[in-house]
Amino acid sequence: MTDPSSPAPSTAPNESWREWLLTAEPRSRNQARLGRAYVTWRRFSENRLAVTGLLIIVALILVAFFADLLAPHSATVGDLAGARLLPPGSPGFLLGTDDQGRDILSRLLVGSRITLAVVALVAIIAAPVGLLIGTVSGFAGGYVDAVLMRITDIFLAFPKLILALAFVAALGPGIENAVIAIALTSWPPYARLARAETLGVRNSDYIAAVHLMGASPTRIVIRHIMPMCLSSLIVRVTLDMAGIILTAAGLGFLGLGAQPPLPEWGTMIASGRRFILDQWWVATMPGIAILIVSLGFNLLGDGLRDALDPRGAGR
Amino acid sequence: MTPLLTVGNLSVTYPTRTGIIEAVRGVSFELGRERLGIVGESGSGKSQTGRAIMGLTPPPGIVRADALSFSGVDLLAATPSTWRDMRGSRLAMILQDPKFSLNPVMTIGRQITETLRHHENVSKREARHRALEMLEAVQISDPERVFSLYPHEVSGGMGQRAMIAMMLVCGPELLIADEPTSALDVTVQLEVLGILDRLVRDKGMGLIFISHDLRLVSSFCDRVLVMYAGRIVEELATADLGGATHPYTRGLLDCTPKIGESRHPLPVLERRKEWAA
Amino acid sequence: MTIRIENLSVTFDGFHALKSVSIAVDKGESFGLVGESGSGKSTLLRAVAGLAPVSAGTIEVNGEALLGNRRSRAFRRAVQMVFQDPYASLHPRQTVDRQLLEPLAIHGIGDGERRILKALDEVGLGSSFRFRYPHQLSGGQRQRVAIARALIVEPEILLLDEPTSALDASVQAEVLNLLEEVRGRHGLTYVMVSHDLGVVTHMCGRLAVMKSGEVVETLAATDLAGGRMVSDYSRRLMVASKGFSREVAPV
Ligand SMILES: Nc1ncnc2c1ncn2[C@@H]1O[C@H](COP(=O)(O)OP(=O)(O)OP(=O)(O)O)[C@@H](O)[C@H]1O
Ligand SMILES: Nc1ncnc2c1ncn2[C@@H]1O[C@H](COP(=O)(O)OP(=O)(O)OP(=O)(O)O)[C@@H](O)[C@H]1O
Ligand SMILES: [Mg+2]
Ligand SMILES: [Mg+2]
């Protein structure tokens, strides 16, 4: 660190760093920002379950990144002759193999990439769209609000999976289309949420104050209203991640998502269905993977809710 | 006669990362069917005292007391369901900053009728009728209109009176009023005080009146507690206010601008460390 | 004449909050508004600021007639407002620093660092308060931040909506002293709403008494203090401000 205001690493460098971060009188904007981030992190990290959730997600990201190195076998080409439907624990195949003789562990590891991509893409598309529509609708009111909210209601009126099914059916099966379909169906709840938050704050004096200073409506929405909606939105999105994974898996299961031989977890369950009674592991292993990752996102979301809650904000 | 409310050695603390904040430190008093005023500067723990009595201390606050009882009920041991039954009907509190405490997306009328219907088994029409009556009683000149307005559509003083109406509509035995009149003009202020006064005199309600307006408190209450840094530093009968001895109380009396005198700048309080000891 | 309001009416869905109100405020003057709760004092200030639906009448500020709720950039800089409730007028998710920076950013004023420190200093808050959030401040400190935010763009006119009603007596004295001092230093014009006649006569030279959306009387503060008023309502206000007494309490 070259920051001159940082303390000299004296006898107890950890202590003085903490002091520097937690000081009641930060000397620069960056110090204040770091201090705040630190306090939020401390609050988050006190929650064991939340940290577990975070670890699961970090592990997922690492696994996705290094899948090629970690996977002991090919994820798509199996040994049809010598290794069909081996049970878990067979030498060389820790989690067993499927009907094509492919190593399930390798497929799960490589499949994590698809899961992660689906989740990230949906979050990147759906959350900002929902946030924008919700805040604009709530802030503008009148016609704009009525029109945007009717559209939202139409989307909300259908169960998510059914609507996604309809989109995929129209767009054609495939993982890209599944992602688009899921994104298209997940923004309405975010829009509703953002609008509700916006309605609560738009008539407040602090919004009137920035209006009085001459701020444009765009500036008010982006810089003053959106931050108010952000934390509840982030929490909601992480909590929804589990649902998104399951929807993607659902589409895969119905044969409308990822196409074989792509190792998408949902598709893997679908193909294992046929041997569920005799070779239970083929469908169960990807099921457990989905369960763990969903749980991770859920725990993370819960933890974030507590950590980002302004009322608990450290003094 | 047993007192309506007994508070013995009440303390409220907030553990935080940088240490423990002692918001209230060993407050004791008894309240009969009378008007008790609590004054003190901002941050002296007035609201925290009121909230602790109502069981409304927000987490992570910790309430400790040797005794805290309301007409024979031990509030320290009260279960959530006891609280739900008592709060709003037998015990009520008018919170400070009404606009903050009113729900911004629900009309004033709906908020009052829901409070009423939560505690008493009344029909919708009856509830509406009583809500309108209550709004009228707090001197809102156009109750029908205000009934259907949202909190941001009413003036500061109307919001405060709506809050008062909401708390009085069930006829509580003990009312804690946290700065109930700070946004009201003087004539309406007196009308509202008149209502509270009549409730104390005729219905035997106990009233804790939290305020920073010493002049108002001294003309309205029977007794005053002066708080400073979480402690009661002085207890006075309002008649003896002129004889207050604590320098903080004297300073408070001194620094309000009065009609017909010209002091520029106004004297301000020099706070001393030893007052907080 | 800095502010001239003539026959101003404001209507909310058929409800007349202001009925043909006229007032005039000179440059450098401190003008008070007192009156019944709900009589339209805040609405009058908000109308000047362009936050209320004006249905008739004219508002002129610095010789420029204001149309509808549109305000020029220059106006937005010259006229600032301090709101009634310090708990509601600061953004709960922004530090004091961000809130003070915002008006500078909007008006493209440079030199933020120095101006923020100066503004904080001017309202008696040290730089140690700079990176705090509103919930870490007391009511009086919040109101000072609101005042600092109004002063930072060097306005000519301050609209003060009950700037001290949420504050305790000792802090009120500090804020009032601060406002007087700032006015003396920068030659500002104040329009100040308060329901405390003591505060208004302390701060203002002239004042208007309002009731149900109308101005019932405009008079000098010294006349009010001396009991020389014409309307009944002003007299009632005077009596009421003596404090509560069981005898006059309405039954
Ligand atoms: N949630 C909280 N966490 C930590 N400290 C708190 C919390 N709420 C209140 N406090 C502290 O408790 C003290 C007493 O606050 P309280 O609200 O009772 O003051 P008050 O006497 O009502 O002041 P005012 O006149 O401004 O309303 C203050 O110093 C405040 O900072
Ligand atoms: N957005 C709105 N919609 C409908 N009515 C409104 C709105 N804003 C204000 N009013 C009405 O206008 C009237 C005047 O309100 P205003 O806030 O100006 O009163 P005030 O004189 O400031 O009172 P106080 O001293 O209580 O703050 C009130 O009757 C209020 O209900
Ligand atoms: Mg308080
Ligand atoms: Mg007002």
DSSP secondary structure letters along chain C: --EEEEEEEEEETTEEEEEEEEEEE-TT-EEEEEE-TTSSHHHHHHHHHT-S-EEEEEEEETTEEE-TT---HHHHHHEEEE-S-TTTSS-TTS-HHHHHHHHHHHTT---HHHHHHHHHHHTT--GGGTT--GGGS-HHHHHHHHHHHHHTT--SEEEEESTTTTS-HHHHHHHHHHHHHHHHHHT-EEEEE-S-HHHHHHH-SEEEEEETTEEEEEEEHHHHHTT---SHHHHHHHHHTT---TTTS--
- Convert B117-132 to b/e letters by CB count within 10 Å (16 or more is b): eebeeeeeeebbebbb
pLDDT surpasses 50 at B17: yes
B103 within domain boundaries: no
Structure ipTM over 0.90, yes or no: no
Verify whether the Cβ–Cβ distance A39 to B17 is below 8 Å: yes
B84 within domain boundaries: no
Give me the helix-helix angle, A265-272 and A226-253, nearest 10°.
Answer: 30
Pairwise CA distance, residues C9 & B277, whole Å: 55
Pairwise CA distance, residues C50 & C66, whole Å: 9
Collect all residues from A whose CB is shorter than 8 A from any CB in B.
22, 24, 39, 42, 196, 199-200, 203-204, 311, 314-315
Q: How many residues does this entry show for chain A?
A: 315
CATH number of the domain encompassing residue A105 = 1.10.3720.10
Cα–ligand 1 centroid distance for B182 (angstroms) = 18
Per-residue pLDDT, B18: 64
Q: Residues with beta carbon inside 6 Å of ligand 2?
A: B 153-158, 183, 185; C 12, 15, 17, 37-43, 195
A1 within domain boundaries: no
Per the omega criterion (within 30 degrees of 0), is the bond before B98 cis? no
- Any chain B CB within 8 A of the CB of C170? yes
A225 within domain boundaries: yes
Per-residue pLDDT, B219: 85
A305 CA: distance to closest CA in chain B (Å): 16
- Any chain C CB within 8 A of the CB of B181? no
Query: Atom 13, ligand 1: which residue's CA is nearest?
Result: B23
Ranges B13-27, B146-160, B197-211, C14-28: which has the least confidence: B13-27
Contacts of B267 in chain C (CB under 8 A): 173
Verify whether the Cβ–Cβ distance B17 to A199 is below 8 Å: no
* B219, closest residue in chain C (CA to CA): C244
Question: How would residue B98 be classed by pLDDT, with cut points 50, 70 and 90?
Answer: low
Cα–ligand 1 centroid distance for B230 (angstroms) = 9
- Any chain C CB within 8 A of the CB of A25? yes
Per-residue pLDDT, A8: 44
Give me the helix-helix angle, B247-254 and C169-186, nearest 10°.
Answer: 50
Contacts of B190 in chain C (CB under 8 A): 240, 244, 248-250
Interface of B with C in 56-115 (CB under 8 A): 97, 99-100
CATH number of the domain encompassing residue C148 = 3.40.50.300
Contacts of C102 in chain A (CB under 8 A): 210, 213, 215, 223
Interface test with B, best of A145, A211, A315 (most B CBs within 10 A): A315
Cα–ligand 2 centroid distance for B4 (angstroms) = 38
Collect all residues from C whose CB is shorter than 8 A from any CB in A.
46, 49-51, 71, 73, 76-77, 80-81, 83-85, 88-95, 97, 102-103, 106-107, 127-128, 130-131, 133, 135-136, 146, 149, 153
> Of B155, B158, B186, B188, which is best to mutate to test ligand 2, by the most ligand atoms within 8 angstroms of its C-beta?
B155
Whole domain around residue B211: which residue ranges? 1-77+206-277
Render pLDDT for B124-171 as a digit per residue (tens, 0 to 9).
Answer: 999 999 999 989 888 888 899 999 998 888 888 888 888 888 888 888
Per-residue pLDDT, A5: 44
For residue B41, the number of C-alpha atoms closer than 13 Å in the C-beta half-sphere is: 26
Interface test with B, best of C168, C224, C233 (most B CBs within 10 A): C168
Strands (E), chain A: none
B271 within domain boundaries: yes
Q: How many CB pairs under 8 A join B and C?
A: 156
User: Of ligand 2's atoms, which has the minimum distance to the CA of residue C84?
Assistant: 27
* B190, closest residue in chain C (CA to CA): C244
Residue ranges of chain C whose pLDDT lies below 70: 1, 246-251
Contacts of C88 in chain A (CB under 8 A): 204-206
In total, how many domains does chain A have?
Answer: 1
**Amino acid (one-letter) located at B37:** G
Contacts of A41 in chain B (CB under 8 A): none
C248 within domain boundaries: no
Per-residue pLDDT, B64: 92
Verify whether the Cβ–Cβ distance B17 to A314 is below 8 Å: yes
Per-residue pLDDT, B60: 79
Pairwise CA distance, residues B264 & C179, whole Å: 12
* A39, closest residue in chain B (CA to CA): B17
Question: How would residue B9 be classed by pLDDT, with cut points 50, 70 and 90?
Answer: very high
Contacts of C50 in chain A (CB under 8 A): 212
Per-residue pLDDT, B250: 84
C147 within domain boundaries: yes
Pairwise CA distance, residues A67 & A72, whole Å: 9
A18 within domain boundaries: no
A247 within domain boundaries: yes
Answer yes or no: are the C-beta atoms of C170 and B254 closer than 8 Å: no
Radius of gyration of chain C (CA): 18
Report the candidate in C75, C78, C97 with the shortest Cα–Cα distance to residue C149: C97
- Convert A143-173 to b/e letters by CB count within 10 Å (16 or more is b): eebeebbeebeebbeeebbebbbebbeeeeb
Q: Residues with beta carbon inside 6 Å of ligand 1?
A: B 14, 21, 23, 40, 42-48, 58, 96, 212; C 138-139, 168
Per-residue pLDDT, C4: 93
Answer yes or no: are the C-beta atoms of A130 and A315 closer than 8 Å: no
Would you call A134 exposed, middle or buried from its count of C-beta atoms within 10 A (0-12, 13-18, 19+)?
buried
In total, how many domains does chain B have?
Answer: 1
- When CB atoms are compared, the residue of C76, C91, C131 closest to A206 is C91
B258 within domain boundaries: yes
B116 within domain boundaries: no
CATH number of the domain encompassing residue B271 = 3.40.50.300
Answer yes or no: are the C-beta atoms of C238 and C232 closer than 8 Å: no
Per-residue pLDDT, B1: 59
- When CB atoms are compared, the residue of C89, C130, C135 closest to A205 is C89
Query: Atom 18, ligand 2: which residue's CA is nearest?
Result: C40
- Count other Cβ atoms within 10 Å, centred on residue B237: 11
Angle at B57 between CA B75 and CA B168, to 5 degrees: 70
* Residue where the block lists tokens 């003070």: C100
- Touching subunits of A (3+ CB pairs, under 8 Å) are B, C
Q: List the structure tokens of C35.
A: 């009156």
- When CB atoms are compared, the residue of A42, A199, A204 closest to B105 is A199
Per-residue pLDDT, C246: 65
Per-residue pLDDT, C60: 92
A43 CA: distance to closest CA in chain B (Å): 10
% residues pLDDT > 90 (chain B): 22
Pairwise CA distance, residues C107 & A306, whole Å: 37
Q: Any idea which ligand is nearest the CA of B40?
A: 1
**Mean pLDDT to the nearest integer, B40-44:** 81
In total, how many domains does chain C have?
Answer: 1
- Annotate B208-276 with DSSP letters as a single string: EEE-S-HHHHHHH-SEEEEEETTEEEEEEEGGGGGG--SHHHHHHHHSS--TT---SSPP-----GGGG
Cα distances (Å, whole numbers) of residue B177 to A201, B118, B136: 27, 21, 19
Contacts of C130 in chain A (CB under 8 A): 26, 32
Residue B197: partners with Cβ closer than 8 Å, 6 or more residues away = B35, B220, C244, C246, C249
* Residue where the block lists tokens 């009520």: B92
B20 within domain boundaries: yes
Query: Atom 22, ligand 2: which residue's CA is nearest?
Result: C42
Per-residue pLDDT, A120: 85
Cα distances (Å, whole numbers) of residue A49 to A37, A117, A246, A303, C125: 20, 24, 22, 7, 41
A34 within domain boundaries: no
Whole domain around residue C72: which residue ranges? 3-241
Question: How would residue B99 be classed by pLDDT, with cut points 50, 70 and 90?
Answer: low
- When CB atoms are compared, the residue of B188, B193, B213 closest to C37 is B188
Answer yes or no: are the C-beta atoms of C183 and C128 closer than 8 Å: no
C13 within domain boundaries: yes
C250 within domain boundaries: no
C246 within domain boundaries: no
Would you call B101 exposed, middle or buried from its count of C-beta atoms within 10 A (0-12, 13-18, 19+)?
middle
Verify whether the Cβ–Cβ distance A204 to B18 is below 8 Å: no
- When CB atoms are compared, the residue of A32, A206, A228 closest to C131 is A32
Cα–ligand 3 centroid distance for B273 (angstroms) = 22
Sign of CA dihedral A256, A261, A264, A265: positive
B155 within domain boundaries: no
Whole domain around residue A173: which residue ranges? 52-312
> Of B42, B48, B211, B269, which is best to mutate to test ligand 1, by the most ligand atoms within 8 angstroms of its C-beta?
B48
- Count other Cβ atoms within 10 Å, centred on residue A61: 13
> Of B102, B148, B154, which is best to mutate to test ligand 2, by the most ligand atoms within 8 angstroms of its C-beta?
B154
Q: What is the mean pLDDT of each run of 10 residues along chain A (315 residues)?
A: 43 69 76 83 87 93 89 77 76 80 88 87 89 94 92 87 85 84 89 92 89 90 90 84 79 78 82 81 87 88 76 44
- When CB atoms are compared, the residue of B100, B145, B190 closest to C87 is B100
Per the omega criterion (within 30 degrees of 0), is the bond before C103 cis? no
B143 within domain boundaries: no
Cα–ligand 1 centroid distance for A226 (angstroms) = 29
